[in-house]
Amino acid sequence: MRAPVPMLWAASLRHFLRHPAQLALALVALTAGVATIVAVNIATASSRRAFELSMRAVNGPATEVITGGPQGLAETLYSRLFTGAPLSGSPQPVYAPVVEGYITVRGQVLQLVGVDPFASAAMQGPRQAMPASAAGGTALTAMRRWFLERGAVVMAGGTARQLGIRVGGPLTVSIGGVRHTATLIGLIRGNRPGDATLILTDIAQAQAWLGLSGRLTRIEVRMPQGPAGRAALAQLRLELPPGAQLERTAGQLRQTLDMTSAFSTNLTAMSLLALLVSALLIYGAVSFTVVQRRRSIATLRALGATRQEILTIVLIEAATLGAAGAGLGVLLGLAVGHELIRLVSQTVNDLYYVVAVRQVALPAGTLVEALGAGLGTALAASLLPAIEVAGSAPQLGLRRSVLEERATLLARRLSWLGLAFALAACALIEVSGRSVLAGFAALFLLLLSVAAVTPSLLRALARLAARALAGASSVARLALEDVAASLSRTGVAVAALGMAIAAMIGISIMVASFRASLRDWLVQTMRADIYVAAPGPGVGRPERRIEPAVLQALLATPGVADHSASRSVIVHSPRGDIALDALHLAPGSYAGIELTAGDPRTVWRAYARGALLLSESLAWRLRLRPGDRLSLITASGPLEFPIAGIYHQYGSGVGSAMVSLRVYRRMWHDDSVTAVGLYLAHGIDAAQEIARLTAAAGGRQALLIRSNAQIRAMSLQIFDRTFVITRVLYWLAAAIAAIGLVSALLAWELDRTRELSVLRALGLTPRGAAALVGAQTVFMGAAALLAAIPAGLIIAVVLTKVVDKRAFGWRIEMHLHAAQFTNALALALGAALLAALYPAWRAARGPIAGEMREE
């Protein structure tokens, strides 16, 4: 005889209807895991997309771009290309000059783009001519104002509305701390998303504002396709002056975005951690529902349901759960993603390039990925329990003891697997060399090994404690024996919690160590008393410069004894763009630079003669050592610079090179100064001196004038901001684990209310019953914590010494502090107590007879 299939489904459905909390909690865990993936995807993709759009918004169809060094290109290059083009009947390249910089309008960073409207229109192509506005008269008026009116700008309608600026209205724009008045003469035609962060002006105006008289930021090129294009490209290469670079626009975009790849990898790893935790929890939930239904399943088997059918049912249940979790996860991820975008773009702005995200990008693959993650996780997690229950003989399924025996056996096997994982992680670190991805893989192996070992550890601890307490309290002994005997239901939840706590401890230690190392480094490096810098967004932006007259006034201010000066720019090299710090060091500043390679006796002499010093990150990334050479594109073309030494520096992780300011000025023809460090004469008060310096700037330029201590605090603030996302994500993973524990414990406690009723009938007081339940869950939390602490330490070591080193080349000293463990402690015990509340309350209040009647 066989059970009809509809009956199986009815049984399945009935079970979930009777246990909605169970289902809901498993769903919450999965939803949170999927949501994390979606949110991280959205946040990173949106900031990338925003950057791409703003790059393409100006002269979209450009195929190539000509760029120069920090001072850009001579504008005569454009006039030469425009007027000197060979006469030809075949399609010819189109050139469009751009002068660009960042500008702050009412607290918001916009990209100031100076264009020549004729060149830009030619770039768009004759067939895509922009639609005429109203009558010819207004077009003419617009042209007059665009060309003639000082400060004439246009921006997208949405941006103007958001900033509260009307057409015709004045606005104050700030560039490198210098304020200018502009007039919004019109709105950008059309409504392309990339336009939202642009403020367009005539190229003449942009040159004037950005102090780039005679210079262009870049020349965009639209090359025709086919042989004509190839010939024109070859010809163009011959005509380029030394110092000019020609690259494909796609390549330029990729290079900029590559800067953030290590950062994105970090985020993705964190989101995978969240999913891993939820996978374990789904395993727990599914195996628990299976265990709960062992009787009905065994009955169905006895009625003739095949293993195949049981397996199918359990897996379809899991798939339904997975799909629902994925769907809800996508919705939640979309909501969380918005908030995460803010955090991600803040970090990107602090460290890499300026981006203003106005649009949420949902990468095409995300939905598939989320669905795959949800379904895959649910199916993978339920496969083992499904096979187990389908494989058990009909009558054995009725006995729980068999199940627990199996769980104990499994736990023992798992701890061997955990050991294998740990060994594999070590081996992976050993053989993978520089791979960041392998570093993360090792990290995940370690986390899995923690999860694998935890159930055995829990059991061993419980039995040990039970033996120790045997004489003292029979209830305590009973409670602990019970924990040891219920591995099938509690083991997984505790494992998930252990893993989340381990990750939390590891990340906390890493972040705290990093922060402490940064602080030490700042103390050592920041030698001057006061730092003055041109404000503005972006790193290495040429428009961030102290006005020469202002600089003179600052240095002449009484109380200033000595100074260091720096110019921070991005220069081209055959190996990609390099952040270059050109420094004039005061005698007191040398001690602030900690050399990690290179002979300290000869380094500075070589530096003065033109050699480079590389930061650890850059040296690591480009695999360079003292004695090697690095080619940089100077104003007169590529030049090989010897590398004198490597220095210790924390920055964006991309790294930078240091060169003498004198050498820089000669090689790049740029006399600007981005920042100065001022050494005060003996007995001068820094606060009073800052007031004097501010007065000396005389309202000509709003400079950032900060004391040594303020700079340090600011740097640490940026650091903290950078790690906000990390914190958010690990709390998310922890929250998922906590939900899992609560759900598992709740289910377990509810399941054994009958046992409790027996105990109550045997004389256990309500308070005693509550204490029993509380003690059990707290014990489980403590066990998770115990497993997590050593694992967290190992993870911290792997993060700092392997992952960060490989991703950024940073050297981070481990700093251990009790505070790093308090979060973990709070989480473990908090989750356990929370999980105990309701069952404890029920255990104390539950009627004795009612629960027993079923027997």
Partner 1 sequence: MRAQALAAIAAAAMALPVHAGRAPPPPSFAQALAPKPLEFPRDQGPHPAFRQEWWYLTGNLDSSAGQRFGFELTFFRFALAPPSASIPAPAQPAGSRPGAGRSGWRTRQIYLGHFAVTDVSRHRFQFAVKRARGALGLAGARAHPFRVWIGNWRIGRISAHPEATMASRPRGAVWRVQADERGYVLTLTARPLMPPVLNGERGLSRKSGQPGDATYYYSIPRVAVRGTIVRDGRPLQVHGLAWLDREWGSGGLGPQQIGWQWFGLQLGDGSCLMFYALRDRGGAEDPYSAGTWVDAHGQAHPLSRSDVRIQVLGHWTDRSGVRYPSRWRLLAPALGLDITVQPILADQELMTSPRYWEGAVDVAGTRAGRPIAGRGYVELVGYAGTTDGPAGIR
Site residues (CB under 8 A) for partner 1, limited to 530-559: 547
Is residue 134 involved in binding partner 1 (CB under 8 A)? Answer: yes
Tokens of 387: 């096979």
Q: Determine which residue in the list 186, 325, 329, 374 makes contact with partner 1, applying CB under 8 A.
A: 186
DSSP state letter for 273: H
Considering the complex, state which of residue 156 and residue 484 has its C-beta at the smaller distance from partner 1: 156
Per-residue three-class SS string for 722-754: HHHHHHHHHHHHHHHHHHHHHHHHHHHHHHCHH
Q: Does 495 bind partner 1 (CB under 8 A)?
A: no
Residues between 630 and 649 that touch partner 1 (CB under 8 A): none
- Among residue numbers 151 through 180, which ones bind partner 1 (CB under 8 A)? 151, 154, 167-168, 170, 172, 178-180
Contact at 8 Å (CB) between 350 and 714?
no
Nearer of residues 214 and 790 to partner 1, judged by Cβ: 214
Q: Looking only at residues 666 through 695 of this chain, which bind partner 1 when binding is defined by CB under 8 A?
A: none
Of positions 51, 102, 146, 723, contacts partner 1 by CB under 8 A = 146
Q: For residue 61, state whether it binds partner 1 (rule: CB under 8 A).
A: no
Q: With H, G, I as helix, E, B as strand and everything else as coil, classify residue 570.
A: strand
Instruction: Work out how close the CB of 550 gets to partner 1 at its nearest, in angstroms, rounded to a whole number.
Output: 10
Of 90-98, 254-262, 388-396, 778-786: span binding partner 1 (CB under 8 A): 90-98
- Residue (76 or 822) nearer to partner 1, CB: 76
CB nearer to partner 1: pick between 144 and 767? 144
Residue 91 tokens read as 């399609």
Site string for partner 1, 91-120 (x = CB under 8 A): xx-----------------------xxxxx
Q: Exactly one of 139, 250, 335, 761 binds partner 1 (CB under 8 A); which one? A: 139
What is the rounded distance in angstroms from the CA atom of residue 204 to the CA atom of residue 148? 10
Q: Which residues contact 479 (CB under 8 A, 6 or more apart)?
A: 772, 775, 776, 779
> Least distance to partner 1 from the beta carbon of 371, Å?
41
Binding status of residue 231 toward partner 1 by CB under 8 A: no
Kind of pairing, strands 637-647 and 560-571? unpaired
Distances in whole angstroms, Cα of residue 108 to Cα of each of 172, 245, 400, 843: 12, 31, 64, 58
d(CA 732, CA 565): 44
Among 2, 10, 90, 591, binds partner 1 (CB under 8 A): 90
Closest to partner 1 by CB, 212 vs 844, is 212
If you count them, how many residues does the chain have? 855
The set of residues, in sequence order, having a beta carbon less than 8 Å from that of 170 and lying 6+ positions away, is 181, 182, 183, 184
Given candidates 5, 21, 24, 140, which one binds partner 1 under the rule CB under 8 A?
A: 140
Contact between 394 and partner 1 by CB under 8 A: the answer reads no
Q: Please name the helix (run of DSSP H) or strand (run of DSSP E) that holds residue 315, with its range, or none.
A: helix 307-351
**Using the rule CB under 8 A, is 148 a contact of partner 1?**
yes
Sole binder of partner 1 in the list 31, 69, 78, 507 (CB under 8 A)? 78
Among 11, 16, 141, 372, binds partner 1 (CB under 8 A): 141
Q: Both tokens of residue 232?
A: 């024109």
Of residues 723, 343, 712, 697, the one with CA closest to residue 535: 697
CB of 190 closer than 8 Å to CB of 128 = no
CA-to-CA dists, residue 792 to 275, 599, 777, 783, angstroms: 19, 38, 22, 14
Please answer whether residues 469 and 759 qualify as being in contact, where contact means their C-beta atoms are separated by less than 8 angstroms: no
Smallest Cα–Cα separation from 828: which of 407, 515, 473, 505?
Answer: 505
| Closest to 439 in 3D by CA, of 797, 731, 790, 791 | 797
Segment contacting partner 1 (CB under 8 A): 186-194, 299-307, 358-366, 641-649? 186-194
Q: Which is nearer to partner 1, 210 or 663 (CB)?
A: 210
Among 384, 417, 686, 702, binds partner 1 (CB under 8 A): 702
Q: Contacting partner 1 (CB under 8 A), which of 76, 688, 765, 822?
A: 76
Phi, psi (deg, nearest 5) at residue 613: -110, 135
Instruction: Give the distance from CA 445 to its chain's centroid.
Output: 21
427 in contact with partner 1 (CB under 8 A): no
Q: Does 308 bind partner 1 (CB under 8 A)?
A: no
The Cα 122–Cα 118 span in angstroms is 6
Q: Is 149 in the site for partner 1 (CB under 8 A)?
A: yes
Least spacing, CB of residue 556 vs partner 1, in Å: 20
How many residues of this chain bind partner 1 (CB under 8 A)?
A: 81
Query: What tokens appear for 300 in the block?
Result: 């169905």
CA 494 to chain CA centroid, nearest Å: 28
Site string for partner 1, 211-230 (x = CB under 8 A): xxxx----------------
Task: Compute the least distance from the CB of residue 549 to partner 1, in Å.
Answer: 10
Lay out the site mask for partner 1 across 259-298 (x = CB under 8 A, - = otherwise).
----------------------------------------
